[in-house]
Amino acid sequence: MFFKSILADIIEIWNLLFAFPIKQRFNSDEISEYPRIIVSQLWFPVIGLVLGLIYWLFGNLTVGIFGVVSGSILFSFCFTLLTILKDGGRGLAGMSAMVEFACEKVPMDQSLLHLPDSVRKVKGPFVPVTIILVVLLKLLCFFLMAYYGYVYWAIAIFVLSMTIRGHLAAMPDLASGEPMIKVQQQQRFFVWILAAFLVLFVLIKAPFTSLIGYGITFVLAIFLEKFIDRQVQGTNPNITNFAGETAEIILLLTGMLLLTAAYK
């Protein structure tokens, strides 16, 4: 069944992105006989869309039920926590580790190769400072999103941050040498076309900010792909989650700087 191949792709990508693994019940021989009607990489922005819609729905519900201030505070705390926990803290761990490595002047290739998969594995004086700053930034940005009524920006944030993960996941895996997500060369940028389509709703609401956010994320993806290939010739889940975390922070800042001013 086509359904088996689709479900197998979704489970594979889910386990790559999130800290709550789903057991893969289909072996490769069982699903290889069915042609891929959807490129696996395209599930990344779709999963991002689902996350963004959950944020958008919950943000509107909390503000509607608890009022603007209380609802915004509740939304901010709940979804800052969810954003950090969704990948088991790998993105935050990668961010804090990169800051620590930079301060210690560790070579970039070694920094990328030793990105941790847990905050508990990151040691150094700058780690708690980085974690606190990132958490406070997310709390502030999510609060402003709910308070000023542009929670829809969460859709763009998660579609694009998942897209950059999908883009880098098509690079060779550092352990096996095979791409984590197999994509034909001519299909590499289909994921960006789909991402552009999925953020149309946000584009209608905030065209200028959406175009800037999309452009920044696309340029960041191309830059990181070339940079990572030059430094370590491959990637792994820790690197892709670090890239996604970086994109999330950039997009949160973009929304805070441009949309907050527009809604005041």
The domain of 187 spans 57-263
Structural domain includes residue 41:
no
Residue range 75-95, pLDDT digits in tens = 999 989 888 887 777 888 888
Structural domain includes residue 179:
yes
Number of domains in the chain: 1
How much is the pTM? 0.87
pLDDT of 249 reads 94
Structural domain includes residue 27:
no
Residue range 189-237, pLDDT digits in tens = 889 999 999 988 788 888 889 999 999 999 999 999 999 999 988 898 8
Structural domain includes residue 29:
no
Structural domain includes residue 150:
yes
Mean per-residue pLDDT, 227-251: 91
Structural domain includes residue 14:
no
Structural domain includes residue 114:
yes
Residue 150 backbone dihedrals phi, psi, to 5 degrees: -120, 45
Beta carbons within 8 Å of 53's beta carbon, 6+ residues apart = 155
Structural domain includes residue 50:
no
257, pLDDT greater than 80: yes
